[in-house]
C-alpha cells in the first residue's frame, strides 16, 4: 500500500544518486513509495538531457509505482488553487501536492517551504 509520494526535488536527487536520499528511501518499504506521474514526466524530460539520470531512470521504473494524475487529482488541484495564492512557477509542484492530498499520501520533499501554504498536506522533509 502506497503511503509516500515523492515530489520532483526528491525524484531528481534519487535519480542523481544523492546518497542521503538513497539512504532514507532504503529505510522505507518499496511498495509504500510512489512517484507522481507529474514528477515522473519532469524526470523523463531531464533524463533526455542527462546521461546519469538516464542510467538511473530504469531502476526507478522497475522499483517504484508511478501514480497517474487522473480526474480526482485534477479536481483536488482545482480545490487547492481556490484555497491558496496561485504561483505560476509552482504549478507542477501544486499538482503533485493536490495528488498527495487526494490520495491521502505523505508528500516527501527536499523543499518543504514550497508547500507550507497548503492546508492539510502532510509533508516529510528530507532536506
Number of domains in the chain: 1
pLDDT for the residue numbered 49:
83
Residue 1 has pLDDT above 80, yes or no: no
pTM over the 0.85 mark: yes
Domain containing 53 equals: 4-125
Residue 103 has pLDDT above 90, yes or no: yes
Mean pLDDT of the chain: 91
**Whole-number Å distance between alpha carbons of 44 and 46:** 5
**Whole-number Å distance between alpha carbons of 82 and 80:** 5
pLDDT per residue as tens digits for the range 19-34: 999 999 999 998 999 9
Query: 37-47 and 8-15 helices cross at what angle (nearest 10)?
Result: 40
The CATH number of whichever domain residue 13 belongs to comes to 3.40.50.1010
Amino acid at each position: 500500500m502506497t503511503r509516500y509520494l515523492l515530489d520532483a526535488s526528491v525524484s531528481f536527487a534519487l535519480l542523481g544518486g544523492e546518497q542521503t536520499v538513497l539512504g532514507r528511501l532504503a529505510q522505507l518499504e518499496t511498495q509504500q513509495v510512489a512517484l507522481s506521474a507529474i514528477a515522473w514526466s519532469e524526470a523523463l524530460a531531464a533524463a533526455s538531457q542527462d546521461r546519469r539520470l538516464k542510467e538511473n531512470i530504469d531502476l526507478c521504473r522497475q522499483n517504484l509505482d508511478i501514480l497517474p494524475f487522473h480526474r480526482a487529482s485534477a479536481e483536488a488541484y482545482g480545490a487547492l488553487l481556490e484555497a491558496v495564492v496561485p504561483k505560476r512557477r509552482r504549478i507542477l509542484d501544486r499538482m503533485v501536492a493536490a495528488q498527495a492530498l487526494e490520495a491521502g499520501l505523505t508528500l516527501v520533499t527536499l523543499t518543504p517551504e514550497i508547500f507550507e501554504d497548503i492546508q492539510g498536506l502532510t509533508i516529510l522533509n528530507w532536506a
